[in-house]
Amino acid sequence: MAIIEVVSDVVCPWCFIGKRRLEKALALLGKQDTQIRWKPFQLNPGAPKQGMDRQAYRIAKFGSATISKELEDRVAAAGAEDGIHFRFDAIKFTPNTLDAHRLIWLAGQEEGDQNTLVENLFQAYFLNGEDIGAPEVLFKIASQSGISANDFLSGNRGRKEVEAEGNNARRQGVSGVPAFFIDGNPITSGAHKPEQLAQLLAPAL
């Protein structure tokens, strides 16, 4: 059976939308049982361990609070179409996502449920405004997702693998996320509408 790989970052709102649209696309194709693997891509790999003030970061990135708000409103409108009600006002930090990606890697290694973990990370950040770079928050989300993180977050296990997978994605031409691969072959990037995504996925599935 084909395997869909989704390259994403857990602080990317379009990746959250892309997850919803992928689920709808697979339903349209009658392929809901297709295995999905989540691959790491850090949008802010140089972010400090403790994260950054989100408002200050976005103003520096986009030039002004006005432009930042316009972009958020656009994302919020798109998300609402897929049942996602973003709470950008509740988000105070832009976290370093390395440890979140390490957890996703762990779920994949131990045959845990990556989908549940990724969903819970997205919801914690975008719906509840939680700092998903904080160890105590990640430990709670891991537990909710049925993953035993115990001493994992305090160590470095999975770091090299996550960094290698991120570098590999860039070598494969990924510059924006979400990006979709099937059995290692690039299919498309971007949070396409479900009908369009289904058309793009269908030949390889």
3-class state of residue 2 by DSSP: coil
Could you tell me if residue 108 is inside a domain?
yes
Is there a domain that residue 83 lies in?
no
7 and 178 Cβ atoms separated by less than 8 Å: yes
Number of other residues whose CB lies within 10 A of the CB of residue 155: 10
* C-alpha 137 chain-centroid distance: 16
State residue 115's pLDDT score: 95
Asked if residue 92 is part of any domain, the answer here is no
In the chain, how many domains are there?
A: 1
The answer to whether residue 191 is domain-embedded is yes
Residue 84 belongs to a domain? no
Residue 28, domain CATH:
3.40.30.10
Query: Is 28's pLDDT higher than 80?
Result: yes
Full residue range of the structural domain in which residue 145 is found: 3-46+97-201
pLDDT in the model for residue 113: 87
DSSP summary character for residue 203: T
In a domain, 77, yes or no: no
What is the signed CA dihedral for 93, 124, 165, 24, rounded to 10 degrees? -130
Query: What global pTM score does this model have?
Result: 0.96
Q: pLDDT tens digits for 69-94?
A: 999 999 999 999 999 999 999 999 99
pLDDT over threshold 70, residue 112: no
Position 108 scores a pLDDT of 93
User: What's the confidence (pLDDT) of residue 148?
Assistant: 87
Per-residue pLDDT reduced to its tens digit, 145-200: 999 888 899 999 999 999 999 999 999 999 999 999 999 999 999 999 999 999 99
**Within a domain: 55:** no
Is the pLDDT reported for residue 111 higher than 90? no
pLDDT of 1 reads 81
pLDDT at 103 > cutoff 70: yes
Assess if residue 24 is contained within a domain.
yes
